[in-house]
A and B are shown apart, each in its own frame.
Chain A
Amino acid sequence: MNRSLRPLLATATIFVLAYILAVAQFPGMLSTRVLGNFLTDNAFLGIAAVGMTFVILSGGIDLSVGAVIGFTTVLIAALVMWVGLHPLAAFGIALIVAAAFGAAMGAAIHYLQVPSFIVTLAGMFLARGAASVLSPDSIGIKHEFYTAISKSYILLPGGGRLTVIGMIMLAVFAVGILLAHRTRFGSNVYALGGSESSAALMGVPVARTTVLIYMLSSTLAGLAGVVFSLYTSAGYSLSALGVELDAIAAVVIGGTLLTGGYGLVAGTFIGVMLQGLVQTYIVFDGTLSSWWTKIVIGGLLFMFILLQRLVFTATPRRRKLAWKT
């Protein structure tokens, strides 16, 4: 079996086992209602995590995701409530701004040859700061388009609701999977994560791919901001604080190798669902406090990093070198 699939398989197994255990304790969790809420409540995280998967596959990291989500919600709220634009126009503008932002970060990473985490750290400060300068207070959005969106959903058998934002997330995952495995850009991302110098020697356009990767990540973070804005009907500069950490955790738990080159977008989906399961379980239990979410996710993160180490240590020496950089 393909070695790189093992962490994914482990994640899937853990998810199924955990879900069975949870259902054994609370039979109510086995319903399309809960599943529908899974998708709705984690939509923004899932969308951001798809972008993060591409970044991590290429061997980088994007710390600006949460800040971009926060900035997008404020920008949309300001455009809709203050300027009076239609939400769809506001979404378009927000996505273009996010894409330009990501492209600038990608260009900085490539041309200034700085580690991605420090560039995206600057990006995080900039996006959060810009959002606060735009409006330090939360702006509520009242628009018939928002109410219409929140009222439209597909009724699943069993009373579950597949909301518009849940569908957006599923669509983003589908497109992400196609992009990663069926396009030249996807292959370039994997090549870049394997070894940048080898990729360059093979003729991969390193500069263009790097810019595109961070552009994709920020655009998806912008889309996550759109979804977050629909989800909460408000724009707030401090919303989605720390989502970048959840997204990174989802990607790692989903079996993507942190040094880049190995991993699947589909794995990230399971990673997001596993985080959702932990949260839902804690809500169902009622006696556990919310901070257990952080501890459990930290524990899972540690476990999967350890697992990756074990799986990839039992391989030829060549592989081992990648870890020692």
Chain B
Amino acid sequence: MTRPTVELRPAHEPPGHRHRPWAEALLRPQFLALAAVLLVNWLLFPGFFTITWQDGRLFGSLIDVLNRGAPVAILAIGMTAVIATKGVDLSVGAVMAIAGAVAASMVVAGWPAGLAVLAALAVGLVCGLWNGVLVTVLQIQPIIATLVLMVAGRGLAQLVTEGSIVTFSDPLLIFIGTGSVLGLPTPVVIALSLMLCATLLVRRTALGLLIEAVGVNRSAARFAGIRASALLLLVYAFAGLCAAIAGLIVTGDIRGADANNAGLWLELDAILAVVIGGTSLLGGRFSIPMSVVGAMIIQAMNTGILISGFSPEFNLVVKSGVIIVILVLQSPMAASILQKRRIKGGRA
């Protein structure tokens, strides 16, 4: 009873998702799940799909789902890259808090907002690099390496804010959190453009293939001439950067940096979004857009539970149910049962 460490792709299935017809892509279970959740929301709340134009921007429950889901979607983009290398980043929630704390404190101290945003992004990048160094140079398992920052990160964020919630009224930060671009909320625009850039970068260059190679077998990838360490550093730094962006959005949204609660448990939501999106936790197979769809499914469920009048805590039970269903479906046991059925069906 050994657990497989490497999942080999069947030879007939090409890596990546090239030349896949749109119709087939839309029939994937994730899209069906999203449609089902949205449908339930619509049944509970008939005005769910109504979108209105008001004060130069779009309003409606659907836009709200996109807007509220943006931070988790952004985290999920970074997390996808990390999980594709067979790693995991538990520190993203804490990094969100640090980035928000840095930006808010700098703005309050009188620095220009643009500089504060850049500093927050730089801090996120540094946090990601720290994780990357632990994973590559010191060769610590990712879950433990990022645990260090998860434990210490909130303390550092509180150190920056000196324990209080730093509130501000800076227009740029508030714009990042609650503004709108071409009628769409800024967080949605940021998440969408990040998703497009990241997807193009990994699928139109060899980067995605290299990441998958490292995820399947790091030693083999290194022997094949891939600079695995540099790639891992890059991936963790990217996850840190994504966390900083999400942190800026959350901070701008509440117009204050709350070191205790900003991004609390969002790392778990991000991991869940990635898993729902079909990225293998064993590395080597990933899709950034599908992770974003996963984040949207989670947010649509959140919104549905809220508008149906259940307490928000009920969400946790639903989420755990979703994880259990996915795990059962993805498990080798389910695969072997399906296979047996197919063989039996073939003989009969």
Contact = CB atoms under 8 A, between A and B. Distances in A.
Given A295-B156, A309-B139, A121 B323 contact: yes
Contacts of A295: 152, 155-156, 159
B275 A294 contact: no
B315 A324 contact: no
A51 B325 CA distance: 27
Q: How large is the interface on B (under 10, 10 to 19, 20 to 34, 35 or more residues)?
A: 35 or more
Given A113-B331, A121-B268, A196-B2, A126 B152 contact: no
B57 to A, nearest CB: 34
Nearest to B318: A129
Nearest to A197: B2
Contacts of B139: 309, 323-324
Interface string B266-307: 001001100100000100000000000000000000000000
Contacts of B3: 113, 196
Contacts of B333: 111-113
A206 B3 CA distance: 11
A118 B275 contact: yes
A129 B268 CA distance: 14
A114 B333 CA distance: 11
Contacts of B320: 122-126, 129
A117 interface: yes
Interface in B231-276: 259, 268, 271-272, 275
Most A C-beta atoms less than 10 A away, residue of B3, B311, B333: B3
Contacts of B281: 114-115, 118
Contacts of B323: 118, 121-122, 125
A297 B152 contact: yes
A325 B5 contact: yes
Nearest to B319: A125
Most B C-beta atoms less than 10 A away, residue of A122, A245, A252, A289: A122
Contacts of A259: 141
A297 B151 contact: yes
A113 B5 contact: no
A126 B317 contact: yes
A294 B155 contact: yes
Contacts of A113: 3-4, 331-333
Interface stretch (A87-95, A155-163, A218-226, A298-306): A298-306
B314 interface: yes
Q: How large is the interface on A (under 10, 10 to 19, 20 to 34, 35 or more residues)?
A: 35 or more
A298 B149 contact: yes
Most A C-beta atoms less than 10 A away, residue of B271, B324, B332: B324
A200 B324 contact: no
B55 interface: no
B158 interface: yes
B113 to A, nearest CB: 26
A52 to B, nearest CB: 13
A263 to B, nearest CB: 14
B345 to A, nearest CB: 24
Contact of A306 (B138, B162, B163): B138
A237 interface: yes
A50 interface: no
Contact of A125 (B148, B149, B311, B317): B317
B313 interface: yes
Nearest to A108: B327
B331 A291 contact: no
Contact of A309 (B138, B148, B219): B138
Contacts of A298: 148-149, 151-153, 155
B145 to A, nearest CB: 8
Most A C-beta atoms less than 10 A away, residue of B314, B320, B331: B320
B150 interface: yes
Interface stretch (A13-21, A130-138, A139-147, A172-180): A130-138
Nearest to A303: B148
A121 B317 contact: no
A214 B4 CA distance: 21
B328 interface: yes
Interface in A280-300: 289-295, 297-299
Given A122-B323, A133-B314, A301-B148, 6 more contacts: A112-B327, A114-B330, A126-B321, A207-B1, A245-B150, A291-B163
7 contacts: A108-B324, A113-B333, A122-B327, A129-B320, A132-B311, A289-B162, A298-B152
Interface of A: 61, 108, 110-115, 117-119, 121-126, 128-130, 132-133, 136, 196-197, 200, 206-207, 237, 245, 248-249, 252, 258-259, 289-295, 297-299, 301-302, 305-306, 309, 323-325
Q: A-B pairs with the 5 shortest C-beta distances?
A: A298-B152, A132-B313, A129-B316, A294-B155, A129-B317
